[in-house]
Amino acid sequence: MENIILVGGGGHCASCIDVIEQDGKFQIAGIVDMPDKLNTTLLGYPIIGSDTDLPQLTENYRHFLITLGQIKSPQRRIALFEQLLQLGAQLPTIASPNAYISRHAKVGTGTIVMHNALINAGAKVGANCIINSCALVEHDATVEDHCHISTGAIVNGGTQIAEKTFIGSNSVIRDNIRIGKSSLIGSGIRVMKEIPDNSFYPGEEINKQGRI
């Protein structure tokens, strides 16, 4: 079993730890977090460094996973992803054994697929994404790089979620539309039409039917 370093030590990291333990392919060697967290632990795993230690850590370890969460902005996850690639790190795809990924689907490097998520035939998920617990990416849908499909969200068939986009918990995206890049769709929203780039729809901005 090979070692892996987790980058980001908050609540999302704790969920990732559980997936990695259940998957059984990697042994967590430590976590990178804020300097004030050094010498503490998360679920029994030590905080062994901060971001400034990544160059040294990549000399000693090969595999890394970004376990920083993503809601308001993906920029920190993107910066870490690019830094790790430049340092020569490998960012594996991690999937819960309780998730289902069709053998006809594609999932990119550095992406994690959480418990009970489902990625169906013909779907494409890019790099450095979070497909969170109980999310559904239906047949022939595309989720581009650096997206977070949150808990219980549904991306229906043929839909394109452009890069750097967040889809909130229990939202439903209808089939065969495009959600523009760098957009945020809040929790529980039904999206029935195409959304342009850089759109921002928190829950309080939708109509009484909960629909865009």
Query: Same domain for 137 and 171?
Result: yes
Query: Same domain for 37 and 98?
Result: no
Query: Same domain for 76 and 107?
Result: no
| Mean of the per-residue pLDDT values of the chain | 95
Residue 11 burial class via C-beta count within 10 angstroms: exposed 0-12, middle 13-18, buried 19 and up: exposed
Provide the residue range defining the domain that includes 54.
2-86
Q: Per-residue confidence at 211, pLDDT binned at 50, 70, 90?
A: low
Query: Same domain for 8 and 81?
Result: yes
Q: How far is CA 140 from CA 34, 59, 64, 172, 191, in A?
A: 39, 39, 29, 16, 18
Residue 9 maps to which CATH number? 3.40.50.20
Kindly report, residue by residue over 26-81, the tens digit of the pLDDT: 999 999 999 999 989 999 999 999 999 999 999 999 999 999 999 889 999 999 99
The percent of residues above 90 in pLDDT, for the chain, comes to 92
Q: What is the pLDDT of residue 1?
A: 87
Kindly report, residue by residue over 178-201, the tens digit of the pLDDT: 999 999 999 999 999 999 999 998
Domain's final residue, options 86, 101, 116: 86
